[in-house]
Every structure is written in C-alpha cells, then in structure tokens.
Structure 1
Amino acid sequence: MNSNNQTVIEHIEELRKRLYFVVVFFVIAIVGGFFLAEPLIHFLQRSDSAQSLELNAFKVTDSIKIYFQMIFYIALLLTSPIILYQLWAFVTPGLYEKERKVTLSYIPFAFILFVTGIVFSYAVLFPYIINFMMDLNVRLAIEPTIGIDYYFSFLFQITLPFGFIFQLPIILLFFARLGILNPQIMVKYRKYAYFGLFVLAAMITPPDLMSHLIVTVPMFVLYEFSVWIAKIGYRKYLKSEEMRLKEEQVAEQERLVEEALEQQRKQIEELNSK
C-alpha cells in the first residue's frame, strides 16, 4: 500500500505491527544473549586493558548487573539489522521499486559500520583512555580501586556511541538518496559541524591533546566521507527524478495520443452511422 493513500490510523497500525515484530525478535535475541554474555565477559576481562587492572565487586549485585547489561547490549546488536529493516519498510512505501532495492542494500553496510565503530573505540580509544588514567594516578601517587561495575559501564559508555557515530555516512546517504538532504548544506555548514564534533570529542575523552586527536580526526574524516558519499547519493536521486519526469512525460504523451485516437474512432463511428 502506498503511504500517500494511508490514513493516520493505518500508519499507526503499521508502525505498531513493525514495533511488535522488533520486540519479538529482541526477546529472542535476549535468549541468545544468555549463552553469549558469559564468554564475552570473560573475553573482555582477558584483554590487555583489563588484565592491567584489579577489578573489584563492591556490591553483591555487581556481577548480575554486568551480566544482564551484557545480555541487553548483545540483544541490541543482534536486533539492530531488524530495526533498520523495519524502519526502511515503514518509510519507503512511496518509493519506486528500484529505489527500494537500492536503499535496502544500505542495511548490511549500516550494521557493518555499527560494529566497526564499536571495534575501533574498543581497540584504539578505550585502551588509550585507560592507560592515560592509570598514568595520571601514578603521577599523583593515587592507588586506584576500580569496581568491575564501573569498568564495564565505562566500557559501554565509550564504545556504544561510536557504533552510532560510524553510521553517519549511511544515514546521510539514505536521506540524500531520497532527496531529503542536499549535500551542499553539509558543505555550507561544515565549520559548525566541525565545531560540534570537536565539542563531542572533548566530552568523551580525557583532557589531553593526543586522546582528543584520536577521537576528533576520525570524526572529521567520517564527516568528509559522509559528505562525499551523500553527493553520490544525491546525484543518483537527481538522475532518478529526471528519469521519472521523462517517463511521466512519455506516459502523458501516450495518453494524449490514445485520447486523440479514441476521439477519431468515435468520429468515424458517428460518420458511419449517418
């Protein structure tokens, strides 16, 4: 059904069905998370960053809290392609078949970028932040006592946002491919975007130049890559719109020809009847 022909109630009902499907799959993913959470926690505890620390549990509930947090994030990761697909299916009924297929192909890349962002922040950013904090403790003659709950919460706080940040190129490409976003706007307001990214990097990194650069430079590169890929998507949108207009013009001409032929046929029939 075309979205233009749906009423508000029908839109809400369709959204409800899609959310219900996402929730069902999320529950199934949670069940799978019960089997994956413990091995993944052990893997993270054996990392170089964690082995250099003595992790403590200050509450009896710390272990179960970490366990369920890990299950939740595993389920979120496993469900993310389903969420993206349902979002795509909800917002693209008015597109042509070719545009639907093209935008549908973005979903695997969005998932890959999400995982890439998490891996990047875990392998590059997180160890540097931990080492910076430990070196600072040594310089200040402070003996840290680190809770395992705080360690994993800090790990999630650093890694998960980068999963979403790394999806920026796909999101902007999607909007540009639909004609919603003009890449020239991104170019025009580049300096404001850079300032926002600079501030965001300062908020999630320690107060030293190197860690700030480790975060800021990839963000700037990601933004420029997003602009470049959005331009490609927007050019394809303009080309598809041009083809659509030509098809509509051809269809209109064919309709006029058919009307003229039909009118001539009627005139001939009237003459013959006389």
Structure 2
Amino acid sequence: MNKPYMEEEQQEMSFVDHLEELRWHIIRSLASILVFSIIAFLAKGFVFHDIILAPARTDFFSYRFLCELGERIGSDVLCITDLGFTIQSRQMSGQFAMHIMVSLVLGLSCAFPYAFWEIWRFVKPGLYPQEQKSSRGAVFFVSILFIMGLLFGYYVVSPISINFLAGYQVDPTIQNEFDLSSYISTLTTLCLACAFMFEMPVIVYFFTKAGLLSPEIMKLYRRHSIIVILVLSAVITPPDVISQLLIAMPLLVLYEVSISVSRSIQKSDLKRLNENNTY
C-alpha cells in the first residue's frame, strides 16, 4: 500500500471520527431537550396555569407591578383590572397539540444552555489557542443573554402586547374570543424572538474576531440597521405598534452595545498585533 493512499485513508478516518463526535454532541443536546420537554409535559397543571396562561390573567406579576406603579404616582391608568377576552379551543385535538408544542418550547428554553455547551465543546478544539482564550466564557454569556431575552419577552413584551390586542375593538358589539393556538403561538413567538435577538452582542463578537465586522462598518450602516430592526420587529410581533417598539428599543440598545463590543475587540487585536511586531 503506497504512502499517499495511507495518508488519504488516515484523513478520511479523522473526518469520520469528527462526524461521529459531532453526532454524539447533537444526540446529547437533543436528549436534554427531550428530557426537559417530558418534565414540562408531565407538569401540565403548573406549566399552563402558572406560566402559559398567567399573562392572560390580571393577577400576573407585570400587571400587578403596573398597578402598584400607578398607585404610587397617583394614577389608575396603569392598573389593568380586566383583559376583556376569553381563550377557547375550537379544534378536537387543539389542547393536546398545544400541550405537546408548549412542552417542546419549554424543553428547548430550559435545555438551551446545556445544548449550546455541547455544541461549543465540539467547536472549541478547532479554534487556535488565542481564539480559545479570547472566547472564554462564551457559554456563560450566551446563556445569560438568552435568559434575559426570554424573561424580557415574557414579563414585558408579551403582557403589554396581549393587553393591547385584547382591548382593541373595531366595534363594541364584537367580543374577543381567542383560540388557544393563536394565544400560545403569539406568546411563544414573542418570548423566543426576544431570547434569540438578545444574542446580538455575542454574534457581533465572533463576527468581529473573524474579521467580518468592525465598529466602523456598524456605525456606517447604523441608519440601515435601524430600519432593518423596525421591519424585523414588525414581522415577528403582532400587528400593533406597541409590541414593535417594545422589541425594537432593546434591539437598538443592543446594537449600540455591540458597537462597543466590536470596538473593544478591534483594540485588543491591534494591541496584540503591535506586541507581536515588537518582538
């Protein structure tokens, strides 16, 4: 057997080994999502009454906070005493289908830090030592931003959007009776959209490290980015201005934070490059 063939076979085996390793990382990630989904499925009463349907009741934390805030400033405008809608299930399999869907969404949300850690374990060895050092804490920051976005979507964007849509009427004779699937899809879309959009600084960090982004480029296209953020907010939210602004405003803040992150990475890389040239 000649040498080139042996080297080619070793490279092929190495590639197959990498695929096998990736497969097990993915399997463990999916298994964690499945485990949390099963737990959520079994805890049906708590999940639906205390989590999913909580923003549809006036005793929800956000509504109580607004009411207390209104009392402190001497105004009852912020106090929400009636949401003015009912939730129904008009399909035979509607509640069961929503039970499964909610369980999967909660499974993904709860298992996201571990699932990302598994994928990161596969990616990290392929980085250069300096890249591994500079990306230290990636799992922590990705997880924190994801949780922050999820909580922001659940406690801020969702209740205000639900209150607005529930109270909107084109005629007083029309009653708002929402289907369960419509309510849950609105809630989950808003929460997950906020969760993933809060990852903007991390994405900018890695793009800057890869040389695909710079603070100058982000400043140059700031106006374009504002338009994109507003359009994106309009697409992923219900058709009301309040929801769009509630998502657009933190995204604009995160965009400015991302510019600072990109600037910091660029300065760090330039400093390291100058030190290497000195030696």
* TM-score interval, normalised by the smaller of the two chains: 0.7 to 0.9
| Equivalent residue in structure 1 for 2:248, among 195, 216, 220 | 216
Judged with a 3 Å threshold, the aligned counterparts in structure 2 of structure 1 residues 174 and 220 are, in CA distance, closer, same or farther, namely: same
Return the alpha-carbon distance in structure 1 between the equivalents of residues 43 and 272 of structure 2. 45
- Any conservation in 2 of the 1:37–1:74 contact (CA below 8 Å)? no
Structure in which a larger fraction of residues adopt helix: 1
Deviations 1:149-206 (A, max 9, x none): 2211221122111110011112212332454533322222222221111111222345
Return the alpha-carbon distance in structure 2 between the equivalents of residues 185 and 36 of structure 1. 48
2:182 matched residue in structure 1: 150
1:84 matched residue in structure 2: 116
Identity %: 28
Return the alpha-carbon distance in structure 2 between the equivalents of residues 230 and 191 of structure 1. 18
Give SS of 1:55's match.
strand
Q: State how 1:40-55 maps to structure 2 within 5 Å.
A: 40-44=47-51, 47-50=54-57, 52=83, 53-55=85-87
Deviations 1:117-161 (A, max 9, x none): 122122222222222223322645311221222211221122111
Return the alpha-carbon distance in structure 1 between the equivalents of residues 35 and 131 of structure 2. 31
Return the alpha-carbon distance in structure 2 between the equivalents of residues 139 and 113 of structure 1. 41
Give SS of 1:146's match.
strand
Show structure 1 runs of 5+ residues with no match. Answer: 251-274
2:200 matched residue in structure 1: 168
Judged with a 3 Å threshold, the aligned counterparts in structure 2 of structure 1 residues 20 and 58 are, in CA distance, closer, same or farther, namely: same
Return the alpha-carbon distance in structure 2 between the equivalents of residues 240 and 148 of structure 1. 56
Give SS of 1:77's match.
helix
Return the alpha-carbon distance in structure 1 between the equivalents of residues 214 and 130 of structure 2. 21
Aligned-partner residue type, residue 138 of structure 2:
Y
- Any conservation in 1 of the 2:161–2:242 contact (CA below 8 Å)? no
Judged with a 3 Å threshold, the aligned counterparts in structure 2 of structure 1 residues 102 and 37 are, in CA distance, closer, same or farther, namely: farther
Q: State how 1:51-90 maps to structure 2 within 5 Å.
A: 52=83, 53-90=85-122
Return the alpha-carbon distance in structure 2 between the equivalents of residues 196 and 179 of structure 1. 22
1:33 matched residue in structure 2: 40
> Number of residues paired by the alignment?
243
Return the alpha-carbon distance in structure 1 between the equivalents of residues 15 and 184 of structure 2. 43
With the length of structure 2 as denominator, give the TM-score of the two structures: 0.74
| Equivalent residue in structure 2 for 1:19, among 4, 26, 32 | 26
With the length of structure 1 as denominator, give the TM-score of the two structures: 0.75
